[in-house]
Structure 1
């Protein structure tokens, strides 16, 4: 995992997340482009973080004045990308090296799931790209 620098504002949001959910996030990312804060939690902790009927997410939104999203961490880039694209049903993910020494993730989804994977205004695919770059130096994600 690359060195990740957390800002003071992200630390404040992480503390708020922990006080509302009781779960310590692995990472907190402010995404101003989509007016959201993305919280990365350990495997199997997303349902607890979201809360019954999404109550914790609603509370976070009220306090933050932004959308709050929870993504489960995955040790393997394929697992993390799959989690970041949730709720889209992914058929396969293949990480390929580029001639420029970069990496690209080729994600295969059914035609019906493409819209879910992309999300409104590209919100879901951009979340996955942001996280793939931050954690695994993957430059882009291609949906097929």
Structure 2
């Protein structure tokens, strides 16, 4: 695995939050053997760098958090790299592009849904996500709740917060 200090967790700072860990909450983003193996497989097969990997058995998928700027190479032409990874690992592959700006990173978790805004709120408040149209609401939830569950896992893992309701302007909570 490529050693890129910019994306490794330090003792004093939570990547992407802009806040020292002791001001938020101690995050446990340790990677097990399988996760490290899957990150190495991604690097070997796609030449891209994953900064995190989650094995989500509930939805039978592997979620990669890919270094900012590596998303295109990770996906490959026509999704070839994702298809190859899926065959090799025997699970569905999903990728989220990391961003230092936490609102952009959280919006990336909901793609292909368009996200109008992300409200991070205070320490104990959940992250609120607003989508511009009803059609984006369904995409933000995902089949069987898979997309919102992916966002919940990643927001907990990176920021120690929960994801609240998905909002549509002038419609309130859904």
Q: Which TM-score band (shorter chain)?
A: over 0.9
TM-superposed deviation, 1:24? 2.0
TM-superposed deviation, 1:53? 0.2
Structure with greater strand percent = 1
TM-superposed deviation, 1:8? 0.3
User: Over aligned residues, Cα RMSD in angstroms?
Assistant: 1.2
Larger Rg: 2
Give me the whole-angstrom Cα distance separating, in 1, the residues matched to 2:125 and 2:153: 14
The normalised TM-score by structure 1 is 0.93
Helix, strand or coil at the partner of 1:28: strand
Give me the whole-angstrom Cα distance separating, in 1, the residues matched to 2:59 and 2:70: 24
Give me the whole-angstrom Cα distance separating, in 1, the residues matched to 2:144 and 2:75: 23
**Other-structure match for 2:126:** 104
Helix, strand or coil at the partner of 1:88: coil
The one-character-per-residue Cα deviations of 1:31-71 (angstroms, maximum 9, x if unpaired) are 11111111111112111100000000000000111011111
Give 5+ residue unaligned stretches, structure 1. none
Give me the whole-angstrom Cα distance separating, in 2, the residues matched to 1:58 and 1:143: 30
The normalised TM-score by structure 2 is 0.77
The number of residues matched between the two structures is: 141
Helix, strand or coil at the partner of 1:138: coil
Give me the whole-angstrom Cα distance separating, in 2, the residues matched to 1:66 and 1:114: 26
Give 5+ residue unaligned stretches, structure 2. 1-13, 15-26, 168-174
User: Does residue 36 of structure 2 align to residue 14 of structure 1?
Assistant: no
Note if contact 1:77-1:132 (Cα within 8 Å) is conserved in structure 2.
Answer: no
Give me the whole-angstrom Cα distance separating, in 1, the residues matched to 2:142 and 2:116: 17
- Over 4 Å off, 4+ runs: none
